[in-house]
Amino acid sequence: MMTYEKYQFVYNSNEYNDKKLLAYAKSTPLKFVELDISKGDINISHLAEMCERTGAPLHHFVNKHKIDQMETKMDDIENFDSLAKVIKVNPTVLDTPIFILGRDYYKIDDMAGINHLAENFKTAADSEEFQK
């Protein structure tokens, strides 16, 4: 279940690249909460919270290619309610991994993306202070 934490690493443990990047992120000084979409029950309020915190619309967090491959076609990907229902049934359409740092979010594609974030947040003590 997703909880409100300032640092969140949203990933899918069924995806090899997500697991690899999670392991690498754990080796950095950043402190964060892991949110595995394949195991957790993502509901509409969790998605709304994620959008509210980051100020981004829900369709910014989805993989449009995976949406296009679905049997059920979506005419309006920008409609929050329709898209949230699709994500609840098929959370793999979320484009993971996503690192949420307070109000900012980053789609992480490789280890360099994690290194960039870790450089911006100098020490584990800084990230712990941010959590308070």
Strand bridging mode 7-11 / 33-36? parallel
Per-residue model confidence (pLDDT) at position 5: 64
Distance CA 113, CA 21 (A): 10
| pLDDT, one tens digit for every residue, the chain (132 residues) | 344 567 889 999 999 999 999 999 999 888 888 989 988 767 788 889 888 888 899 988 998 888 888 776 666 677 888 888 888 888 889 999 999 887 888 899 999 999 988 887 754 445 454 544
Distance CA 51, CA 61 (A): 9
Distance of CA 96 to the CA centre of its chain: 6
Per-residue model confidence (pLDDT) at position 124: 41
Per-residue model confidence (pLDDT) at position 27: 92
Contact 21, 108 (CB under 8 A): yes
Question: Domain map of the chain by residue range?
Answer: 7-131
Per-residue model confidence (pLDDT) at position 123: 43
Per-residue model confidence (pLDDT) at position 102: 79
- Start-to-end C-alpha separation, the chain: 21
Per-residue model confidence (pLDDT) at position 132: 47
User: Is the bond into 91 cis (omega within 30 degrees of 0)?
Assistant: no
Distance of CA 116 to the CA centre of its chain: 17
CATH of domain 7-131: 3.40.30.10
